[in-house]
Amino acid sequence: MIDPLAVPDPTSPAEHHADFLELCAFRSSKRSISFQEFVRDLRMASATETLLDSEQWDDEGEGDERSEGLAEAAFAELDERRRCCGGRTDRYPFDIEGESLSLGPSPEESLYTFLALLSGFGKDAGPDGADGEKLFEEICAKVAEAYLGGPGERARSFVFGFPRRVKPPGFAQALDELCKELGEGNGHHTGRPKLPDQKDAKLDIVAWVEFADGRQGKLITFGQCATGRNWGDKVSELPRPDDWCKHWMADSPAVAPIRSFFVPHRVEQEKWSHTCTFGGILYDRCRIASLAANLGADLKRQWTNWSSHVLGEIGETHG
């Protein structure tokens, strides 16, 4: 189990160090953390000593340089996150000035904040009765619409993931409603036996772009969401969408859907290609945050309340 509040191991990727820096800024009474403070944290966590045990480093000076190199890589990643979020403060709730990361005003209102806290502390970190995992699915459905050109009549979405908060709880009934809204599939396949753990058959979100004629043959995406730190194990859990449709629908859509994968994490660069190859269109933390406009007042109220609770719980322990 990774402790999000502990300084990452020196062998961890820059993305993990950047996550730690953001959490430090969230927790700090001065709402910021500097380059030198992070170097100090690396040394206090014995990161330098770990490096000095390696034959690669011959003296303390080389270890100090390596610690500073880790901090430089982390701050470069923070700058890249700001760019990937669109370079706007309403998308990325931090300012990066000189050698300091500072928290902007009203961070709890930023979708990025919700995603970062969900990534760090998990789906159950929010207030009682608030399901971070289901909220994430509903956010991602609207984000998928935004990417496909919405919101509006052309881009639409359906949250299929179980337990369903709005749609029918039963698998067959929910699939019938999905097919009706989609205008394809003709409902569930009546010849398939119900499996004990069927629930949603690994399908969380369906999003599509409608034509005015309402006929078959449209761009459809099948998406899976993964909020836990074991998200890498879930990349290929969702079957190929054409196989999913052949098995569970009475008729397959005229054009096979495209797979997509949603996570609140910042996916490491070295894992990016693999995740896209096996998971489909990848929506990571920055991509989701970059599409945060016009997701609706109700969703924003929910993620703001969730984030406010978590920010209050993690408190102030960093100088």
Domain boundaries, the chain: 14-125+308-314, 132-297
C-alpha closest to that of 42 among 59, 22, 65, 58:
65
- Chain centre to alpha carbon of residue 124: 15
pLDDT score of 47: 44
Average pLDDT for runs of 10 along the chain of length 319 = 76 94 93 92 64 48 74 95 88 91 94 97 93 96 94 87 83 93 94 74 95 94 96 93 95 96 96 96 97 91 96 70
Q: What is the DSSP letter of 8?
A: P
The predicted pLDDT at position 169 comes to 84
Q: What per-residue confidence (pLDDT) applies to 305? A: 97
The whole-number pLDDT of residue 140 equals 97
Which residues 6+ apart lie within 8 Å of 34 measured at CB?
Answer: 99, 100, 101
CA distance 244 to 232: 21
Q: What is the pLDDT of residue 197?
A: 60
Q: Give the Å distances, CA to CA, from 319 to 7, 45, 70, 71, 296.
A: 14, 15, 20, 17, 36
This prediction has a pTM of 0.90
